[in-house]
Amino acid sequence: MKVTTLIALLLVVLVTGQSCATQKLWESTNPNERIWVDASKITEEALQKRGVIYSVSENKSAKGYLIEKSGWQKFGDYHLRLLGTPVAIAVDAVTTVTVVGVLLFLNEPEGTCELIKMLAD
């Protein structure tokens, strides 16, 4: 019964928690995502004068513009992805290993301590 419970908990944790940091990094640095600017901050004429690619976004609560990111903003997003992905993957891996270790320890404390001693030697 304990092994079945351990496997079930392990699968739930791995499915729900896997790659959280990596996924958040990639979502927050999406170079193709447009930037929303409130219509009170800039006029449509000003956007047209600057030659910016945009679309009008209007709903019940606000009117604004979805503006395409500039080349430099896209470059920055790709740069952050390139530098941040290895760190995010490491954070995800450490999180997964920690959860598995805690579950193993809670299920079989003496065996887990023996395993740690064997790995340390």
**pLDDT by 10-residue block (mean), the chain, 121 residues:** 62 62 91 91 91 88 91 95 93 82 76 77 76
16 and 74 fall within a common domain: yes
pLDDT confidence of residue 31: 94
pLDDT confidence of residue 8: 63
78 and 94 fall within a common domain: yes
Number of domains the chain contains:
2
Rounded to an integer, what distance in angstroms lies between the CA atom of residue 117 and that of residue 121?
A: 6
pLDDT confidence of residue 106: 74
Q: Which residue, chain included where needed, has tokens 């009170």?
A: 40
3-state secondary structure 68-117: CCCHHHHHHHHHHHHHHHHHHHHHHHHHHHHHHHHHHHHHCHHHHHHHHH
2 and 61 fall within a common domain: no
